[in-house]
Amino acid sequence: MKIHNYEKMGNLELKSLELVISAYNFNRDNSRYWLLDGNEDVTEMGFNPDSGYVYIALENGVQIASCFGQFVEYLVTDYNNGEEFFYDTYDEAYNKLEKLNETV
């Protein structure tokens, strides 16, 4: 899989990449929502030079992101209005995603 803007990553972004991959692996093995969902495939990985975030986008709509080598955050976007929600755990993000999908 291609990592978008890999060539633009510096030391802190590479640390963020390490963190998001570790979080992906941890959640794949430990989240009950991950196991129930079945749509945890990675659709895209990369670095957004505008925001500074390194991310893994999952097929189910949750993103795992880190900026400047800091702790990972789990991001869900409401595609109806573009609002973004950040969470400390995958399970929190997945719960928000389910609530957003109920209102569609």
| Residue 97 in domain | no
Cβ–Cβ < 8 Å for 58, 64: yes
Kindly report the pTM of this predicted structure. Answer: 0.91
| Residue 104 in domain | no
| Residue 93 in domain | no
Is pLDDT above 70 for 30?
Answer: yes
Q: Could you give phi then psi for residue 3, rounded to 5 degrees?
A: -100, 110
Number of domains in the chain: 1
| Residue 102 in domain | no
| Residue 96 in domain | no
Distance CA(13)–CA(95), nearest Å, equals: 28
Q: What is the mean pLDDT of the chain?
A: 92
| Residue 94 in domain | no
Is pLDDT above 90 for 32?
Answer: no
Residue 67: give the domain boundaries.
3-87
pLDDT digits (tens, 9 = 90+) for 66-81: 999 999 999 999 988 9
| Residue 75 in domain | yes
| Residue 39 in domain | yes
Arithmetic mean of pLDDT, 22-42: 83
